[in-house]
Amino acid sequence: MLFIRVCLLTLASLTMFNVNASPVETYVFKDDVSQKRYQSLVKELRCPKCQNQNLADSNSQIAVDLRQEVYEMVELGKADSEIVNFMVERYGEFVLYRPKVSSLTYVLWFGPVVFLLIGVVIVIVMLRRKPKAQEKQELSTEQQDKLNQILKDK
């Protein structure tokens, strides 16, 4: 009995003092869709201050304010693209973790494909060359005689 009580207490304390590092705001959404949209938006938007965190992760004041902005816009029923544009207009393309396809980001978007193609070409060229390299090397009569001699000696 005592054991169970101790267990329960430990469990209770674990849940009570559960330290959560991510900042928590208690936003109330009008429906589940809004909440999901908000959550995906703050994950995709980058915090301008702490540059390697998204809005959802960051504790900085500007992230708090921007989460508030995103929340208000989601509740107003604005489209995702409108909210993203709002951010880009103020903070630049930098805030997008998924940058738009433009002449500036072609390398970023198509670089991997180009490298893959280069790799495929190299592999094909090497595979085609291989039979050539494996051509049988004939022994000259002199060498053959020498070989026969060695084998005989054994």
Which residues lie near another protein (CB under 8 A)?
Answer: 48-49, 51, 60-62, 65-66, 68-69, 88-92, 94
Q: Min. distance of Cβ 89 from another protein in angstroms?
A: 6
Q: Min. distance of Cβ 19 from another protein in angstroms?
A: 24
Q: HSE on the CB side for 89, CA within 13 Å?
A: 6
- For another protein, give the closer residue by CB, 36 or 100: 100
Q: Min. distance of Cβ 93 from another protein in angstroms?
A: 8
- For another protein, give the closer residue by CB, 9 or 108: 108
Q: Min. distance of Cβ 139 from another protein in angstroms?
A: 27
Are 54 and 44 in contact by the 8 Å Cβ rule? The answer is: yes
Instruction: Report the SS3 class of residue 35.
Output: helix
- For another protein, give the closer residue by CB, 40 or 68: 68
Q: Is 77 left (phi over 0), alpha (psi -120 to 50) or beta?
A: left
Q: Min. distance of Cβ 101 from another protein in angstroms?
A: 18
- For another protein, give the closer residue by CB, 100 or 146: 100
Dihedral sign (CA 41, 42, 47, 48): positive
- For another protein, give the closer residue by CB, 69 or 75: 69
Are 21 and 7 in contact by the 8 Å Cβ rule? The answer is: no
**Distance from C-alpha of 68 to C-alpha of 71, rounded to nearest angstrom:** 5
Q: Which residues contact 91 (CB under 8 A, 6 or more apart)?
A: 48
